[in-house]
Amino acid sequence: MSLQLITGQSTNFAVEKPTLSSLFRRQPIERLAPGFAVFWEGDEARNIFEVVEGMLRVYRILNDGRRVILGFVRPGDLLGVSLKGHYLYTVEAITPVELRRLPKHHFESLSEREPHLKEQLFSKLCDEMAAAQDQMVLFSRRSAEEKLAGFLLLMARGHVRNRRMLIDLPMTRLDIADYLGMTIETVSRTITKLSGCGVIATVERRAIALMNMDALIALAGGELEDSSFRQAYDRRHAMA
């Protein structure tokens, strides 16, 4: 009787199929100070990570010393999801970060018995893939204004419904520049310009207020980067 009560109360310990997130929830939280790396490009890929708190940058260093930022990672995102033997990029904390580590072999042996775990990972990878393609679209924007507007909308995530909102930009201008493929000067100038138009307002160094969401979306080319919105898209060219 009493045992039933307990299991009834704390559903976390109910005997259910383990989900990906329940697997992670069993792992202890690890903390990382800004500037420190979770792993380096080329490291043997032994773990998968789930970000619990904070923001990180994913990047590669090219031969000529240039740094290309492939993306920013936030709570809920997974890191190191790949069958490759080595990590394909470096991941570094921007803010103080909390994450959980899951050894790959651990996941693999478990997913032998629980195929739906693979399913979930697969689904995550598909999301990541879609996000990567969205980013390629973002990159292909020509002007600095379009790129930055797109970037800000990306950082606003799904909250585009609100006409006004405040977004955190914990990364430096250099991070943004290396992400969008421009220079810090152009990033800075463009932010100044958008502030001048009243589209955005710089609240603090690392926070920006989106003052006129419609204008921002229009500047970004009218396209919502968030692929969840594109689902409802009508096929304009089906008859072309």
Interface positions with a copy of itself (CB under 8 A): 40-43, 60-64, 66, 68, 70, 82-86, 88-90, 115, 118-119, 121-123, 125-126, 128-130, 132-133, 135-137, 139-142, 178, 181, 221-223, 227, 230-231, 233-238
Report the alpha-carbon distance of residue 36 to residue 32 in Å, rounded.
6
Report the alpha-carbon distance of residue 186 to residue 145 in Å, rounded.
9
| Residue with smaller CB distance to DNA, 120 or 183 | 183
Rounded to a whole number of angstroms, the minimum distance from the CB of residue 9 to DNA is 44
Q: Pick the binder of DNA from 84, 113, 142, 236 (CB under 7 A).
A: 142
Lay out the site mask for DNA across 46-75 (x = CB under 7 A, - = otherwise).
------------------------------
Number of residues forming the site for DNA (CB under 7 A): 22
Bridge partners (DSSP) of residue 210 are 165, 200
Report the alpha-carbon distance of residue 134 to residue 131 in Å, rounded.
5
- Between helix 184-197 and helix 173-180 the angle, nearest 10°, is 100
Rounded to a whole number of angstroms, the minimum distance from the CB of residue 44 to a copy of itself is 10
Footprint of DNA on 182-221 (CB under 7 A): 182-192, 202, 205-206
Please give the structure tokens belonging to residue 206: 């690392």
202 binds, among DNA, a copy of itself, none (CB under 5 to 8 A by kind): DNA
User: Closest Cα to residue 211, out of 143, 164, 160, 155?
Assistant: 164
| Residue with smaller CB distance to DNA, 48 or 155 | 155
Q: Are the C-beta atoms of residues 151 and 217 closer than 8 Å to each other?
A: no
Q: Label residues 119-143 b or e (16+ Cβ within 10 Å = b).
A: ebbeebeeeeeebeebbeebeebee
189 binds, among a copy of itself, DNA, none (CB under 5 to 8 A by kind): DNA
From residue 228, give the alpha-carbon distance in Å to each of 26, 155, 215, 223: 30, 15, 21, 12
Q: Is residue 144 within the footprint of DNA (CB under 7 A)?
A: yes
Rounded to a whole number of angstroms, the minimum distance from the CB of residue 28 to a copy of itself is 25
Using CB under 7 A as the criterion, which residues of the chain lie in contact with DNA when the complex forms? 142-145, 172-174, 181-192, 202, 205-206
